[in-house]
C-alpha cells in the first residue's frame, strides 16, 4: 500500500485538525458508562452471560442504522489479531483493558469512528464520542442521543438516588467522563505548567498524558478530564471542564505571543531543528518523535513554518505508534525495526507534504 | 554579492578537496623560517629596520614574476582593516601573531594562495606552501624552490654547524615545519584517538587543532607536524611525518569500514541528523557547525550521503569563521549575529548544492 493510501485509510476525522480552537485543543471526548439492568457487571459475570450481551448488541444495535452515525460495525476482541487491537487502542477507540483483559469484549464502531461503544469492558457499555477540536457540547449532545437510542431498546441499571450504576464507584451517577486533549507547548517552555497543574487538580479535574492514566505528558500533550461523576448534572460537569479549558487556551495563546516577542530567533531555531531532524533522521524512538512533532506543530501555529499543514502532528502522533507501524509494515517488528520504520514513515510523510 | 560569487572568490585551491587521499588528508603545509643576515630578528629590531626589510621585499620579490607562482602581491598589515587580516588568518595564510603583534608585518601572496611569505613575523621570512590533500613532497619541492629563488637575491643567516638561524631556538637548523591537516572522525568515534595521540607525540610529532598551537581538535580535525628542526635533513623530517600519516590514513580507513559493518544504521542516522540540522537551523555556534560539518563529511566519505560534494566541509569550515561571515555581511557582527549568519550561510550553501 502506498503511504498516501495508508494514511487516508488510517486517519479518523477527529485527527484532521478541523474543529474549533484546533490550534490548541486537538480533540474532545465524551464517555458514558452504562450497564444492563439485572445482568452482573463484567468483572463478576460469567463468560456465557457476557456473550449473551454481545448477542443483544448484535440484535438490537449493530443491525440497525442510526440516524446520525449510520451503520455500526461490531468487532469482537476474540476475532482480532493482537496488532489489530493495538491499532484501535492507539486510535483511542478502545481501551488497553478491553483489548487485553476482557472475557468477551467487543466494540461497536461508526464508520467515521467518532462513535465507539465498548462492550464488556469494566461496564457493559462505554459510549464514546470523539470529535476534532474543542467540541464538548456537541460531544455531549451526540452521547446523549446514543444513550437515549440504546435506552429505547435495553433497560440500564439506574438508581433514583444515585443515578446510573457502574462497576467502579467513581463512575456512579452520570457515568460521564468528559475530556479534552490539549497541546500546550508554550506553557511548558515558559515553565508555567508546573504552577498550573496543581491548580487544575484542585478544581476537581485530572490531567494525564496522551495514553490515559499513568501515561507521561509526552509532546506537551495533556488530557484534561473531570474526576467527579456524582452530584452534578452532565451539563454542569461539561461546563466546569469547558471553563478551565477556555482559560488554558487563553494562557497558552498569551505564552505563545510572549515567546514570539521575546525569543523569536530561539523559537525559530528550535522548531526548524526539529523539522530538520524529522526530515533526515534514520532511526527515532517514539518519545523523541512525539517531542519533535510537538515542536514542528508549534512552529506551524506560530506562523514560523509555513510549508506544512497543522494536522501532521495529530496524524503522525498516531501513525508512528507501534501498532500502526506494524500494520503499515504488514509484520511484527522489533523495537529497533520500529524505530527505523518510524523515522522512514515520518520522512516520507513530510516529503508528501512538501511535494503537495 | 551572491553567495556563489562570494564563495568562488573566497575559496583557495587548497580547500577544494582535490589532492591525493583528500578523503582524510585535507591539506599539507610546508613552512621554512628564514632571516636576512646581519639584520636583527624582528623581536628586537627597530620598526625602521623592519620597514627596510619590506622595501627589500618590494624591490626584490614582489615586482618580479616567479616561474611557478607568478606575480606575488605584497599586503602590509598596517594598510589592512582588522577583519581583512582576520580573513587571512582564517584561510591559514598568515598567523594571528603577524596580524596583531608585528611592528611592520606584511605578507607576500601568490594569486592561487598556495604560496604565502610572511614578512617580519617571528622571523624576517616565513615561506609557506599550502596544498590540497596529501602532498608533503610536492610542498617541500616548492618551498625549496622559493627558498633558492630568495637566496639568489638576499643572504640568509646561516651557521655551518647549526644551519639556518631563527628567532626561536626550536626552529634553528632546517627552519622547517611540515604539517598535515587530517580528518579522523572514525578514529574518534571508535575511541582510538586517545590511544594514538600519545604514540604520535613519542615519535617527536605534535598534534594540534585546526587553528594551531593551543587550539582544540574541533570537528575531528587534527594538525600533525614535526617538532624537531635540527639534526635531520629536510627530507628525513618530511619522511618521518609522512610515514606516520600513511599509518593514520590506514587506521582511519579501517575504522571507517568497521563503523560501516558494525553500526551502519547508527552512522547513517548520525550523519543525516547533522545534515538535517545544518539544513534547517536558524542559529549555530562555530563549534557545533564544525562538528556537524565533520559528520556530514564522514557521511559523504562513507558513501551514505550522495547528493553533496566532499569539498563542503573544507569550504564551510573556513567560510563560517567570524572574519568570513563579517566579510560576506559587509559589516562587523556581534557574536549572536554571527551565529545567525552562520546558520543562514550554511543553509544557503547546502541549497546551492542541492540545486546543482
Q: What is the DSSP string of B95-161?
A: -HHHHHT-SS-EEEEETTSSEEEEESSSSSEEEEEEEESS-HHHHHHHHHHHHHHHHTTSPBPEETT
Q: What is the pLDDT of residue B189?
A: 93
DSSP line for B292-331: HHHHHHHHHHTTS--SS-THHHHHHHHHTSHHHHHHHHTS
Cα-flanking dihedrals φ and ψ of residue B176, to 5°? -95, 130
Q: Which residue of A has its CA nearest to B265?
A: A282
Cα-flanking dihedrals φ and ψ of residue A208, to 5°? -135, 175
Q: B302 to chain A: which residues are within 8 Å by CB?
A: none
* Residue B202: exposure state from Cβ atoms within 10 A (0-12, 13-18, ≥19): exposed
Q: What is the pLDDT of residue B356?
A: 62
Q: If residue B272 lies in a helix (H) or strand (E), which one and from where to where? A: helix B264-280
* Axis crossing angle, helix B82-90 with helix B322-329, rounded to the nearest 10: 130
Q: What is the distance in angstroms between the Cα of A216 and the nearest Cα belonging to chain B?
A: 26
Pairing of strands B125-132, B115-119: antiparallel
Q: What is the distance in angstroms between the Cα of B305 and the nearest Cα belonging to chain A?
A: 11
With CB atoms and an 8 Å threshold, state whether B273 touches A268: no
Cα-flanking dihedrals φ and ψ of residue A35, to 5°? -135, 150
**What is chain A's mean pLDDT, rounded?**
91
With CB atoms and an 8 Å threshold, state whether B265 touches A340: yes
For residue B175, what are the CA distances in angstroms to A142, B113, B193, B230? 90, 21, 29, 8
Q: What is the pLDDT of residue B323?
A: 92
- Whether the complex's predicted ipTM is more than 0.90 is answered with no
How confident is the model over A188-194, as a mean pLDDT?
91
Lookup result for grid cell 643572504? B155
Positive or negative: CA dihedral A159, A162, A164, A168: negative
Q: Which residue of B has its CA nearest to A336?
A: B265
With CB atoms and an 8 Å threshold, state whether B265 touches A275: no
Q: What is the pLDDT of residue A211?
A: 56
With CB atoms and an 8 Å threshold, state whether B283 touches A277: no
What are residue A125's DSSP bridge partners?
A: A34, A119
Annotated binding-site residue? A27:
yes
CA distance A347 to A350: 5
B166: CB partners within 8 A, 6+ apart: B33, B34, B35, B41, B122, B123, B172, B175
Q: A340 to chain B: which residues are within 8 Å by CB?
A: 265
Of the listed ranges A12-26, A77-91, A107-121, A263-277, the least confidently predicted one is A12-26
* Axis crossing angle, helix A335-355 with helix A264-280, rounded to the nearest 10: 110
Among A276, A285, A304, the strongest candidate for a mutation testing the B interface, having the largest count of B CBs within 10 A, is A276
Residues of chain B with pLDDT under 50: none
Find out whether A14 and A91 touch, Cβ atoms under 8 Å.
no
Residue A150 clears pLDDT 60, i.e. is over it:
yes
* Axis crossing angle, helix B3-10 with helix B311-319, rounded to the nearest 10: 100
Q: What is the pLDDT of residue A214?
A: 53
C-alpha cell recorded at residue B139: 610542498
Provide residues of B within 8 Å CB-CB of chain A.
265-266, 268-269, 272-273, 275-283, 340, 343
B92: CB partners within 8 A, 6+ apart: B27, B29, B130
Residue A100 clears pLDDT 80, i.e. is over it:
yes
Q: What is the pLDDT of residue B5?
A: 73
Rg (CA), chain A: 21
How confident is the model over A192-210, as a mean pLDDT?
88
Phi-psi region of A214 (alpha: psi -120 to 50; beta: other; left: phi over 0): left
Q: What is the distance in angstroms between the Cα of B151 and the nearest Cα belonging to chain A?
A: 56
With CB atoms and an 8 Å threshold, state whether A280 touches B282: no
Amino acid at each position: 500500500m502506498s503511504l498516501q493510501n495508508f494514511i487516508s485509510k488510517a486517519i479518523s476525522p477527529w485527527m484532521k485538525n478541523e474543529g474549533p480552537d484546533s490550534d490548541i485543543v486537538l480533540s474532545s471526548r465524551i464517555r458514558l458508562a452504562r450497564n444492563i439492568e439485572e445482568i452482573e457487571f463484567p468483572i463478576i459475570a460469567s463468560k456465557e452471560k457476557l456473550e449473551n450481551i454481545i448477542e443483544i448488541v448484535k440484535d438490537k444495535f449493530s443491525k440497525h442504522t442510526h440516524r446520525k452515525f449510520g451503520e455500526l460495525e461490531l468487532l469482537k476482541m476474540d476475532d482480532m489479531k493482537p496488532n489489530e487491537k493495538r491499532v484501535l487502542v492507539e486510535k483511542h477507540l478502545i481501551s488497553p483493558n478491553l483489548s487485553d483483559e476482557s472475557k468477551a469484549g467487543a466494540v461497536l464502531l461508526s464508520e467515521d469512528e467518532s462513535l465507539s461503544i465498548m462492550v464488556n469492558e469494566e461496564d457493559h457499555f462505554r459510549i464514546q464520542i470523539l470529535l476534532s477540536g474543542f467540541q464538548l457540547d456537541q460531544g455531549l449532545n451526540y452521547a446523549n442521543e446514543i444513550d437515549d437510542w440504546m435506552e429505547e431498546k435495553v433497560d440500564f441499571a439506574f438508581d433514583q438516588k444515585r443515578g446510573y450504576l457502574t462497576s467502579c464507584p467513581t463512575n456512579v451517577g452520570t457515568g460521564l467522563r468528559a475530556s479534552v486533549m490539549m497541546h500546550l507547548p508554550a506553557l511548558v517552555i515558559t515553565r508555567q505548567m508546573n504552577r498550573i497543574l496543581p491548580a487544575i487538580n484542585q478544581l476537581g479535574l485530572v490531567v494525564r498524558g496522551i495514553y490515559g492514566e499513568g501515561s507521561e505528558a509526552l509532546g506537551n500533550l495533556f488530557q484534561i478530564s473531570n474526576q467527579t461523576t456524582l452530584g452534578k448534572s452532565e451539563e454542569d460537569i461539561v461546563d466546569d471542564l469547558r471553563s478551565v479549558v477556555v482559560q488554558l487556551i487563553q494562557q497558552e495563546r498569551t505564552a505563545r505571543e510572549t515567546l514570539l516577542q521575546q525569543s523569536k530567533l530561539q523559537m525559530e531555531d528550535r522548531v526548524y531543528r526539529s523539522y530538520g531532524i524529522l526530515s533526515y533522521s534514520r532511526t527515532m524512538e517514539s518519545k523523541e518523535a512525539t517531542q519533535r512533532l510537538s515542536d514542528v506543530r508549534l512552529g506551524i501555529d506560530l506562523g514560523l513554518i509555513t510549508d506544512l499543514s497543522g494536522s501532521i502532528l495529530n496524524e503522525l502522533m498516531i501513525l508512528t505508534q507501534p501498532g500502526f507501524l506494524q500494520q503499515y509494515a504488514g509484520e511484527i517488528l522489533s523495537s529497533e525495526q520500529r524505530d527505523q520504520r518510524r523515522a522512514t514513515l515520518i520522512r516520507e510523510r513530510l516529503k508528501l507534504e512538501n511535494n503537495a
